[in-house]
Chain A
Amino acid sequence: MLRLEHVTKLYATSVRPALDDVSMDVDAGEFVFLIGPSGSGKSTLLRLLLREETPSSGNVFVANWNVARLANRKVPKLRQRMGCVFQDFRLLGDRTVGENVAFALEVTGKSAHTIRTVVPEMLELVGLDGKGDRMPAELSGGEAQRVAVARALANRPLVLLADEPTGNLDPETSDDIMLLLDRINRTGTTVVMATHDRQIVDAMRRRVVELHLGKLARDDARGVYGASR
């Protein structure tokens, strides 16, 4: 499903590569935690998958897309098949919750009819039924992140990428979001999640990939957070 081949990423403004010869594979349906200290390259890895950045060398594949070589005008197609969730939610602040979810469907050209049925489905899936008319500013952090998840799932993505989705949430709310991501993963969606949250990683017991200074430091099939140190 996802494959990195000897990927190195050197930002123009820095001397040390953000990712240094990283190779890894993620199969369809897997749940992967991406951990490592701040600055170790977790976000960079996710951004390469989303084609927000291109690698300095090496190859990135998502399903059948050769992401790094993809023509600019095909990038939206790639992103329409991937869902992404961020620490800061990234909702469109001037639209309602329902409109935020609908937007993802609209850009893929779904019919008005489909949109009218899918949006409530998605809101129900994340536990926000009936809150479609709220504005993002009227939501708690946990609710906002649920909207982001609903939006990410609306197009039935191949992969869900999450960059510290619980980073701004209290432990209890974090657990709710993790339950949600776990449930989504069990329905077949591949999930890659970057996180600093030791408790979550230890509780879930899923595959753990650790980065250290841009290098792949560890890849455990059923890992915990702090095993190597």
Chain B
Amino acid sequence: MTGLAFVWREALAGLRRNITMSIAMMLTTAISLGMLGAGLLAVRTIDRTQDLYYSQLAVQVALDEPTSAGDADCSSPTCTGLREQLQGDPLVGGVSFESREAAYQRFLRIYAGQSILQLVRPQSLPATLRVTLKDPTRGDALVAEYSGRPGVRNVVDQRALVQDLFTFLASVRNAAFGLASVQALAALLLISNTIQVSAFTRRTEVGIMRLVGATRWYTQVPFLIEAVITGVVGALLATGGLVLGKLFFIDRLLGGRLISNAIPAVGMSDVLLFVAPLLVVIGAIIATATGYVTLRLYVRN
């Protein structure tokens, strides 16, 4: 179709003719979309952190002293009985046994080189049954059920211990999400405003084109293509910014030994496969929609 080729040429020529406006629009779009992308990445990282912790948390059924002392592989009747009961429990996903000796070895690993080691003897650590739950939030039921059973010293739901941290993380996440939403709104308003200005400045031009017999297709489609190109380029610039931000800021921030164990890194795939496509789609949709609405409102005929 000759019309299509023409419309493309017009769009590209339009971008070139209004180069200052085009660049301004691309940068505006890039900045607001970049902030939106950063917000989304923060939300995603926090979600990941939560998942990571959830997957590692368990309910620990600590065995009492006599059972702990004499049982290296859960072969005593008390331990076997408890284990079978737990395995039969509908709430329970899996059960694993950690003997007193194994617990001590793990302790040695975790606190290697620290003075606390001198205070701890194998005798002070219990053997435990580590119970993972099908639904991690139901730990309290298990605590109630197995506390005080014969052979059980105590039952601890690890999740309950870190509940405060989770509550805190959830509020940080919600704040990040809120900021991202505000950024999305700001992006919408900024992009639509620049498009409006650009459409407004072309009213006369479009009027002349219509008088010469140009259809809506000829006057509006190039403009919409321009808007989409601007939106997409803006989104790509924003992605580039996020990649740089990840490489030179986030990676260094989260790269320290302590933090890197606590918070999962922001992966390049998060930026390129999750955020970038979202930004491109959002940029294109905002640009097309506001472009279309603006043309309808400002350009009669």
Q: Do the beta carbons of B214 and A107 come within 8 Å of each other?
A: yes
Chain A residue with minimal CB distance to B7? A106
Interface flags for B192-232 (1: CB within 8 Å of A; 0: not) read 00000000000001001111111100100000000000000
- A116 interface hit (Cβ, 8 Å): no
Contact of A90 among B2, B17, B208 (CB under 8 A): B208
- A79 interface hit (Cβ, 8 Å): yes
Contact of A109 among B3, B208, B301 (CB under 8 A): B3
Contact of A76 among B3, B17, B208, B213 (CB under 8 A): B213
Chain A residue with minimal CB distance to B202? A94
Measured CB to CB, the closest approach of chain B to A47, in angstroms, equals 10
Q: Across the interface, which residues of B come within 8 angstroms of A81, CB to CB?
A: 213
Q: Across the interface, which residues of B come within 8 angstroms of A108, CB to CB?
A: 213
CB-contacts of A63-90 with B (<8 A) = 73, 75-82, 84, 90
Measured CB to CB, the closest approach of chain B to A131, in angstroms, equals 20
A151 to B213, CA, bound (A): 11
- A50 interface hit (Cβ, 8 Å): yes
- A11 interface hit (Cβ, 8 Å): no
A90-B208, A92-B205, A92-B208 given; A107·B213 CB < 8 A: yes
Measured CB to CB, the closest approach of chain A to B89, in angstroms, equals 71
Chain B residue with minimal CB distance to A81? B213
Q: Do the beta carbons of B2 and A94 come within 8 Å of each other?
A: no
A75 to B212, CA, bound (A): 11
- B274 interface hit (Cβ, 8 Å): no
Q: Do the beta carbons of B208 and A104 come within 8 Å of each other?
A: no
A70 to B286, CA, bound (A): 34
Interface range on chain A (Cβ under 8 Å from partner): 20 to 34
Q: Across the interface, which residues of A come within 8 angstroms of B205, CB to CB?
A: 92-94
Interface flags for A97-112 (1: CB within 8 Å of B; 0: not) read 0000001101111010
Contact of B212 among A52, A94, A107, A109 (CB under 8 A): A107
- B6 interface hit (Cβ, 8 Å): yes
A91 to B211, CA, bound (A): 11
Chain B residue with minimal CB distance to A83? B212
A92-B205, A94-B205, A109-B3 given; A76·B215 CB < 8 A: yes
Q: Do the beta carbons of B209 and A84 come within 8 Å of each other?
A: no
Chain B residue with minimal CB distance to A157? B213
Q: Do the beta carbons of A80 and B2 come within 8 Å of each other?
A: no
Q: Do the beta carbons of A109 and B2 come within 8 Å of each other?
A: yes
A50-B211, A92-B205, A92-B208 given; A107·B218 CB < 8 A: yes
Number of B interface residues in the complex (CB < 8 A): 15
Q: Across the interface, which residues of A come within 8 angstroms of B218, CB to CB?
A: 106-107
A92-B205, A94-B205, A107-B218 given; A79·B212 CB < 8 A: yes
Contact of A111 among B2, B17, B213, B214 (CB under 8 A): B2
Contact of B209 among A73, A77, A103 (CB under 8 A): A103
Measured CB to CB, the closest approach of chain B to A67, in angstroms, equals 14
Q: Do the beta carbons of B214 and A76 come within 8 Å of each other?
A: yes
Q: Do the beta carbons of A103 and B212 come within 8 Å of each other?
A: yes
Q: Do the beta carbons of B213 and A79 come within 8 Å of each other?
A: yes
Q: Do the beta carbons of A92 and B209 come within 8 Å of each other?
A: yes
Q: Across the interface, which residues of A come within 8 angstroms of B215, CB to CB?
A: 73, 76, 107
A81 to B212, CA, bound (A): 9
Q: Across the interface, which residues of B come within 8 angstroms of A50, CB to CB?
A: 211
A103 to B210, CA, bound (A): 11
Chain A residue with minimal CB distance to B206? A92
Chain A residue with minimal CB distance to B1? A109
Q: Across the interface, which residues of A come within 8 angstroms of B2, CB to CB?
A: 109, 111
Chain A residue with minimal CB distance to B212? A104
A103 to B13, CA, bound (A): 13
Q: Across the interface, which residues of A come within 8 angstroms of B6, CB to CB?
A: 106
Contact of A84 among B17, B211, B214, B301 (CB under 8 A): B211
Q: Across the interface, which residues of A come within 8 angstroms of B208, CB to CB?
A: 90-92
Measured CB to CB, the closest approach of chain A to B207, in angstroms, equals 8
Q: Do the beta carbons of A77 and B213 come within 8 Å of each other?
A: yes
Q: Across the interface, which residues of A come within 8 angstroms of B209, CB to CB?
A: 92, 103, 107
Interface flags for A105-128 (1: CB within 8 Å of B; 0: not) read 011110100000000000000000
Q: Show the binding face of A for B, using Cβ within 8 Å.
A: 50, 52, 73, 75-82, 84, 90-94, 103-104, 106-109, 111, 151, 155
Can you name 14 extra interface pairs (CB under 8 A) apart from A92-B205, A104-B213?
Answer: A50-B211, A75-B301, A76-B215, A79-B210, A80-B212, A80-B213, A82-B213, A84-B211, A103-B214, A104-B212, A106-B218, A107-B218, A111-B2, A151-B212
Rank and list the top 5 A-B pairs by shortest CB-CB distance, nearest first: A80-B213, A79-B213, A107-B214, A76-B215, A76-B213
- 11 sample A-B contacts, Cβ–Cβ < 8 Å, listed by A number: A50-B211, A78-B213, A84-B211, A93-B205, A94-B17, A94-B205, A106-B6, A107-B213, A107-B215, A108-B213, A151-B212
